[in-house]
């Protein structure tokens, strides 16, 4: 019995590897098997080696029955289980593949899924030449990790396994989750997603508030080879439905009740509060190429009918690495997540923190000010609106102080203006800092800050002066969804008011002859969904056209004008 099974397995492997092209031409599963050979040949070869090993053990009289049955079961589960996919593939082969088809690894799979992929944009059009009216400002070289987000995170776990990856609110307290725990949970959810009707390459819409499980689901999608489409939780049902339709998402994970129109727009609806889990025998995302689409992102300020940005794995990893180079911090630091993870700026900031071996503290969007004191982060990821809210809270606390401290507190913005303009501070600032500003920072949880990032827009001058005078190292990050959230950085230690700062590592910036700010580099998006006009206008000669007026000052500083 065991010998018969082994002989059949050997015939199977010989058929696969003896004449690969003959197998592809004859097999009804050709479109996915060809992709399997193309991306997973190593796994198939391991299987063949295992069959040979078992045959040798059997011939030597060793007991291998259970081992043989386990190998056969796992192989069948990985290849032909779940929902008659084999018949679907055979039907496709018979009806869609021409008689004169010539085998090419991965080609049938590409043809079968091409209609679902973003339309590539011609970024090298000869007649769309870009004329520059400035030097090219170079942010220095950048080494971008190869492969997918899933394989990158595997390396992160290997380096920082037992370190804290997340601080999660539980019963009023923050509890730690290690990188190993995060990876284990994400892989279990990946297995659960693949146990549904979802298949690698499918797009999965996510609609939930930012929290630890959002990041778990994001990583699970990468491990499963799915493409997450992040929906802003504040978006209307109509906007969410439009985005689902535009992206071709076949699944939706949502927190709370799902409107009928949304549920009918997809094939699979899953509860965010009860994500499915299963053992993942195969994680397709580990084999995904870095140039494949990793996520589809929209600008919250743009109408849903505008083209979504198709960001590749290379885009995401380049953005995280650029932040890591520009904002170095050691393992064991803590950064914040209180903004929507649907915003690419918050998502790549999370990746950046993990890349440094740092923890992400998930703070409630409404309670983040009260929770800052509990985590005392080294990296604050914020936007102007958040700093405005924080300003109001600190002003309220200042108002509760005695009249002398209130008087000292009233000078904080003027001190900050002197710092920003390079004039320094008077001697009495040291006393003001010790008696008033330092206690305020401690009470607000801002004492340990190395970086206080502000993205998505410029801070008003009064906020900038206030926080710099308070001793908060505010720096501004310039970028957009189309540049994966990064572009230029105006750091606290060399802050130039009115400037967007210097190009970040891996980024080049220039101004065109019609004064438009241009950006290029590995963080520039891979393409748009299906808006050829937007693509041709926005991506030309490798340059991303921001649509904003660029200015170069007499001292060479870059800024965005009117």
* Domain residue ranges of the chain, discontinuous segments joined by +: 1-75, 137-141+351-560
DSSP states along 374-439:
HH--SEEEE-HHHHHHHHHHHHHHHHTS-HHHHHHHTTHHHHHHHHHTT----THHHHHIIIIIHH
Asked if residue 33 has pLDDT above 90, the reply is no
Under the banding of pLDDT at 50, 70 and 90, the label for residue 367 is confident
Per-residue pLDDT tens digits for 260-270:
989 999 999 99
**Which residues lie below 8 Å from residue 493, measured CB to CB, with a gap of 6+?**
473
Distance CA 479, CA 500 (A): 9
Q: How confident is the model at residue 542 (pLDDT cuts 50, 70, 90)?
A: confident
The structure tokens listed for 448 are: 């340990």
Cα distances from 540 to residues 83, 165, 520, 525, 536, in angstroms, run 44, 39, 10, 12, 7
**Model pLDDT for residues 184-201, shown as the tens digit of each residue:** 999 999 999 999 999 999
12 contacts 44 by C-beta, under 8 angstroms: no
Q: Which pLDDT score, from 0 to 100, does residue 182 have?
A: 98
> Is residue 245 over pLDDT 80?
yes
Which among 505, 485, 455, 519 has a CA at the least distance from the CA of 328?
Answer: 505
User: What is the model's pLDDT at position 28?
Assistant: 41
3-state secondary structure 24-63: HHHCCCHHHHHHHHHHHHHHHHHHHHHHHHHHHHHHCCCC
The alpha helices in 62-178, defined as continuous H runs, are: 65-80, 85-96, 107-113, 149-160
Question: What 3 state SS string does 286-344 have?
Answer: HHCCCCCEEEEECCCCCCCCCCCEEEEHHHHHHHHHHHHHHCCCCCCCEEEECCCCCCH
Place 24 in a pLDDT band, splitting at 50, 70 and 90. very low
What pLDDT is recorded for position 91? 54
Tell me the pLDDT band of 118, cut-offs 50, 70 and 90: very low
Q: Is the pLDDT of residue 351 over 90?
A: yes
Give dist(CA 411, CA 172) in Å, integer.
36
Contact 241, 235 (CB under 8 A): no
Token pair for 300: 């919250």
CATH dotted code for 137-141+351-560: 3.40.50.12780
pLDDT value of residue 102: 56
pLDDT given for residue 150 in this prediction:
98
pLDDT at 99: 61
> pLDDT value at position 453?
97
Q: Would you state the pLDDT for residue 89?
A: 46
**Looking at residue 561, what is its pLDDT?**
79
Distance CA 225, CA 203 (A): 9
Q: What is the mean pLDDT of residues 9-14?
A: 64
pLDDT at position 113: 45
Average pLDDT, the chain: 84
Q: Are 262 and 249 in contact (CB under 8 A)?
A: no
Nearby residues of 170 by Cβ (< 8 Å), 6 or more positions away: none
Please give the pLDDT value at position 111: 52
**Cα torsion angle, 153, 157, 159, 165, sign:** positive
Residues facing residue 270 across a β-bridge: 253
Band of residue 141 on the pLDDT scale cut at 50, 70, 90: very high
pLDDT tens, position by position, 387-430: 999 999 999 999 899 999 999 999 999 999 999 999 999 999 99
In degrees and rounded to multiples of 5, residue 330 shows phi and psi of -85, 165
Give the model confidence (pLDDT) of 49-104 as tens digits: 777 777 677 665 566 575 766 667 666 655 544 444 444 445 555 566 666 655 44
Banded model confidence at residue 343, pLDDT cuts 50, 70, 90: very high
Q: Does residue 313 carry a pLDDT above 90?
A: yes
How far apart are alpha carbons 382 and 444 in whole angstroms? 15
Q: Give the pLDDT confidence of 206-223 residue by residue, as tens digits.
A: 999 999 999 999 999 999
Q: What is the pLDDT of residue 250?
A: 96
Model confidence band, residue 154 (pLDDT cutoffs 50, 70, 90)? very high
pLDDT, residue 505, reads 97
**b/e burial code for range 265-279 (CB count within 10 A of at least 16 → b):** bbebbbebeebbbee
pLDDT in tens, 272-295: 999 999 998 899 999 999 999 999
User: 366-392 burial, b for 16+ CB within 10 Å, e for fewer?
Assistant: eebbebbeebbbbbbbbbbebbeebbe
């Amino acid at each position: 019995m065991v010998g018969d099974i082994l002989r059949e397995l050997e015939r199977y492997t010989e058929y696969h590897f003896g004449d690969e092209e003959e197998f592809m031409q004859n097999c009804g599963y050709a479109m996915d098997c060809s992709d399997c050979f193309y991306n997973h040949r190593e796994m198939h070869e391991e299987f063949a080696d295992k069959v040979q090993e078992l045959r040798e053990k059997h011939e030597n009289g060793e007991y291998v029955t259970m081992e043989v049955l386990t190998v056969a079961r796992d192989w069948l589960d990985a290849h032909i289980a779940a929902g008659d996919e084999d018949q679907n593939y055979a039907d496709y082969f018979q009806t869609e593949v021409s008689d004169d088809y010539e085998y090419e690894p991965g080609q049938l799979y590409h043809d079968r899924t091409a209609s679902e992929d973003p339309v590539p944009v011609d970024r090298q059009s000869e007649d769309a030449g870009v004329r520059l009216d400035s030097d090219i400002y170079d942010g220095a070289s950048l080494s971008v990790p190869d492969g997918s987000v899933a394989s990158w995170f595997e390396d992160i776990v290997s380096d920082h396994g037992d370190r804290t990856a997340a601080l999660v609110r539980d019963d009023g307290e923050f509890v730690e989750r290690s990188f190993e725990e995060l990876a284990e949970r994400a892989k279990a959810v990946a297995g659960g997603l693949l146990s549904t009707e979802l298949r690698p390459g499918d797009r999965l819409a996510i609609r939930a508030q930012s929290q630890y499980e959002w990041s778990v689901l994001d990583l699970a999608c990468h491990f499963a080879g799915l493409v997450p489409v992040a929906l802003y939780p504040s978006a209307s049902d109509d906007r969410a439905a439009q985005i689902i339709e535009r992206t071709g998402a076949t699944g939706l994970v949502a927190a709370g009740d799902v409107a009928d129109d949304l549920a009918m727009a997809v094939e699979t609806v899953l509860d965010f509060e009860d994500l499915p889990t299963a053992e993942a025998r195969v994680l397709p995302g580990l084999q995904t190429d870095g140039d494949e689409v990793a996520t589809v992102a929209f600008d919250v300020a743009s109408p849903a009918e505008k083209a979504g940005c198709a960001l590749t794995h290379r885009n995401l990893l380049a953005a995280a690495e650029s932040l890591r180079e520009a904002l170095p911090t050691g393992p064991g630091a803590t950064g914040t997540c209180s903004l929507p993870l649907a915003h690419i700026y918050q998502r790549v900031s999370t990746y950046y923190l993990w890349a440094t071996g740092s923890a992400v503290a998930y703070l409630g969007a409404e309670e983040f000010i009260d929770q800052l004191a509990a985590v005392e982060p080294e990296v604050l990821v914020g936007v102007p609106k958040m700093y405005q809210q924080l300003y109001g809270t600190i002003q309220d606390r200042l108002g509760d102080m005695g009249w002398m401290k209130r008087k000292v507190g009233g000078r904080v913005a003027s001190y900050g203006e002197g710092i920003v303009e390079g004039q320094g501070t008077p001697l009495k600032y040291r006393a003001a800092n010790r008696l008033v500003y330092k206690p305020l920072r401690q009470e607000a949880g801002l004492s340990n800050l190395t970086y206080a990032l502000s993205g998505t827009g410029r801070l008003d001058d009064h906020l900038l002066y206030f926080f710099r005078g308070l001793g908060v190292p505010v720096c501004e990050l310039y970028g957009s969804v189309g540049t994966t959230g990064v572009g230029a950085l105006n750091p606290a230690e060399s802050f130039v008011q009115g400037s967007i700062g210097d190009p970040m590592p891996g980024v080049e910036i220039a101004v065109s002859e019609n004064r438009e700010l241009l950006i290029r580099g590995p963080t520039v998006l891979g393409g748009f969904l299906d808006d050829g006009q937007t693509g041709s206008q926005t991506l030309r000669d490798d340059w991303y056209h921001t649509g904003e007026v660029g200015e170069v000052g007499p001292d060479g500083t870059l800024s965005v004008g009117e």
